[in-house]
Structure formats: C-alpha cells, structure tokens
C-alpha cells in the first residue's frame, strides 16, 4: 500500500491495487473563514495550498467520505469528481446529500464489512469530540456530529485503520482490539471548539494510541491546515514516539 498525504484529512490510499481518495477538500488556500464556534475564527482556511493539482487528486478509483463537514469535502471536489465513481459514506443522510450532487454510485459502508474489488472495508465508529459535550454543540449549529473510520483488509496487504475524526475513546480501542491493524492513520491536530474542548486527537491521544498499538505504525494526518488547530506537526514530532510518522503535505509513505 501507499498513503499519500495530500492536505488536512485528504489522502490518496492505494490499497490492493485500488486508489481511494479520502475526504477530498480541494479548495484554494484561504477560501473559507474559520468556524465561529471554534478557536481562531479569525483565521481563514485552508491555511495552505494543495501540494499537487486537483486534477491529479481526483484521478482515483473510489472515494471515501468519513463525514459531511466543510473541512472534509467541498464543492470543488464535488464538481471535479466523475459522477459514476464509487462513493462510500457512513449513513443514509450522507448518501442522500452526496447523491444530490449527481453522484450515481453512492454506497454505505457497513460494520459487518463491505467488499470492493479484492478488499473488504469495515466501518468503525468513534467520538468526534466527547459525545456528551460536542454533540449538543453540533446540534445547536445544525452540523452533524457522527464521523466514521474505516478498516481496510485484503489477502495481499497489511491491515490499515483510518480512524477519522475522533478522539481516543472506547470505540477506537474496540477497533484496535478487533482488527489489530498494522497501520493506523489518526487525525491529530486537536482541532478545538471555542471552549477549548477538542474534536479530534492531540498529543495525549497520539501517545496513548502509539503505546496501546505498539506494534503498529501510526501516521498523523489532518495537520497544519484548519483554522481551529491547537497541535502542529512539530508538536507531534516533539513527542519522539518511535512508531509515529508525521508526513508533510505531498509526502508518500510506502509499505
């Protein structure tokens, strides 16, 4: 497999011969304001440009959208992707939303496993920030709370777990205990709402998962791009965790 870190949570994962585009957020630098309900609302985002052309990014075999949030998909991607591409989502709400943009092959991922070519993809759950704190905030601003992760398995590949937008929580631990992934991608910039409550992993979460899954390679993604980040690549690297990689935008990790 190869894991191409594009920008933020946007990845191109080549797995068992298939190119999957994860969470395509393709707009130019500074195209949208920061989130009013989060820290640093004055900072425009994305904070950086794409490292490769959008045309190259959308040249893939399938798309996986972990959740419908504006820093994980945008109208640039929705306009550039071919309408018949297999497009995997977490639930019926996201399926219907994607379909409204003209996509004709929108599929639900299942916790029981969804076959695609030679791979089987398993939907996982998490907590996009502590559920009891963040879900009411999301509801108050009309933004969905749930986000999924995905486990990739195939006979010719190591297992891969893309945890998605989640903190360290019992659901993530359960995914590790169930699938024992060899490679784990975590979103790790500790993006936070205005009261300081984090929405995704930060340094403590990365340390915990690196220790708990000590035989796995941990890859820190979703870095240095959104307005509401509170942890940087430099902060993760300063942990000096031997099994944690922190790729730059545009970097490709080959396994």
Q: How confident is the model at residue 199 (pLDDT cuts 50, 70, 90)?
A: very high
Nearest to 164 by CA among 221, 205, 202: 221
Structural contact between residues 217 and 243, judged by C-beta atoms closer than 8 angstroms:
yes
Nearest to 209 by CA among 197, 218, 200: 218
List the domains of the chain with CATH numbers. 2-247 (3.60.15.10)
d(CA 193, CA 36): 9
pLDDT tens for each residue of 102-140: 999 999 999 999 999 999 999 999 999 999 999 999 999
Going 193 to 245 to 66 to 26, the CA torsion angle's sign is: positive
Using DSSP's 3-state secondary structure scheme, residue 211 falls into helix
Mean pLDDT of the chain: 98
Distances from the Cα of 104 to the Cαs of 63, 78, 81, 240, 247, in angstroms?
A: 13, 12, 12, 45, 34
Nearest to 172 by CA among 120, 212, 135, 138: 212
Mean pLDDT of 164-176: 98
Percentage of the chain modeled with pLDDT above 90: 100
The label of the residue with tokens 């496993």 reads: 113
Looking at the whole model, is its pTM more than 0.95? yes
pLDDT tens for each residue of 206-255: 999 999 999 999 999 999 999 999 999 999 999 999 999 999 999 999 99
């Amino acid at each position: 497999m190869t894991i191409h870190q594009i920008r933020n949570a946007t990845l191109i994962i080549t797995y068992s011969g298939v190119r999957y585009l994860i969470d395509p957020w393709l707009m130019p630098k500074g195209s949208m304001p920061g989130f009013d309900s989060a820290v640093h609302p004055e900072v425009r985002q994305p904070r950086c440009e794409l490292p490769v052309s959008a045309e190259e990014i959308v040249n893939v075999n399938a798309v996986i959208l972990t959740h419908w949030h504006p820093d994980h998909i945008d109208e640039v991607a929705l306009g550039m992707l071919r309408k018949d591409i297999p497009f995997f989502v977490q639930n019926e709400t996201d399926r219907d939303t994607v379909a409204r943009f003209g996509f004709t092959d929108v599929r639900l991922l299942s916790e029981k496993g969804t076959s695609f070519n030679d791979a089987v993809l398993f939907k996982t759950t998490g907590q996009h920030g502590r559920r009891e704190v963040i879900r009411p905030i999301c509801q108050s601003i009309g933004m969905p709370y749930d986000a999924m992760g995905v486990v990739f398995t195939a006979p010719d590949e190591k297992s891969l777990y893309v945890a998605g937008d989640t903190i360290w929580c019992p659901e993530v631990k359960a995914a590790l205990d169930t699938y024992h992934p060899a490679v784990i991608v975590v979103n790790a910039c500790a993006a936070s709402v205005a009261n300081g409550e984090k929405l995704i992993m930060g340094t403590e979460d990365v340390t915990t998962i690196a220790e708990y899954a000590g035989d796995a390679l941990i890859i820190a993604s979703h870095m240095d791009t959104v307005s509401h980040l509170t942890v940087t690549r430099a902060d993760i690297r300063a942990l000096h965790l031997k099994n944690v990689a922190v790729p730059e935008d545009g970097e490709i990790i080959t396994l």
